[in-house]
Amino acid sequence: MAEIRCFIAVEVNDSDVVRQIIRIQQDLLSSGAKLKLVEPQNLHFTLHFLGNIDEQRIPELADILEKVEGTVFDIELVGLGCFRPQRPRVIWIGCTTGADQLIQHQQAIGRELRAHRFPSEKRKYSPHLTVVRVRSGVNRVQLIEIVNQHTNKEFGRFQVKTIKLKKSTLTPKGPIYENLAIKTLDATNAP
């Protein structure tokens, strides 16, 4: 029985927004902290991390994703932050517009996952876009200073047209993601 490490996500797909994120990643690197930047092609909002799933169940996950109902929506990225500032492990960007839709999709997919006996998130969902992983406590104070300078920074807005089931292959250079299933959202009444 082969297993596939996978998750369900919304990707950041706007080149202008991605450029803004790359700029802030470079600012964070200037702190001298030991950081692992999320690659531009890997930027996403995780809705559900599924972990290792039996490969034979992937079509079932694709069916669950196909049941997602919703229309195209906008996400506006605002504010840099981190969990546990005294020992940050992840630096993220928050969202204002679109947060409610992300939560609704996360909850609806979670109900379907539980009904089909798939693992679902135990923690309360908090929409965030991971941009940096902190590898050690080196220069933590300088890093947090940069984060605090950008708590209200606007990174732009992009339109969400799809939700994806993604395969994650871990490598020494970082994860490689591959689409396993794509749910296209209804564009009829899109903003």
Q: Is position 48 annotated as part of the catalytic site?
A: no
Characterise 144 by phi-psi region: left (phi > 0), alpha (psi -120 to 50), beta (else).
alpha
The residue annotated as part of the active site, out of 44, 48, 105, 150, is 44
- 128 a catalytic residue: yes
In whole angstroms, what is the distance from residue 109 CA to residue 137 CA?
36
CA 51 to chain centre: 15
Helix (H) or strand (E) holding 47: strand 44-54
The two structure tokens encoding residue 111: 């109900």
Pick the catalytic residue: 48, 105, 116, 128?
Answer: 128
Q: How many other CB atoms are there within 10 angstroms of residue 84's CB atom?
A: 8
3-state secondary structure string across 105-155: HHHHHHHHHHHCCCCCCCCCCCCCEEEEEECCCCCHHHHHHHHHHCCCCEE
Sign of CA dihedral 22, 24, 27, 29: negative
Q: Which residues are catalytic?
A: 44, 128
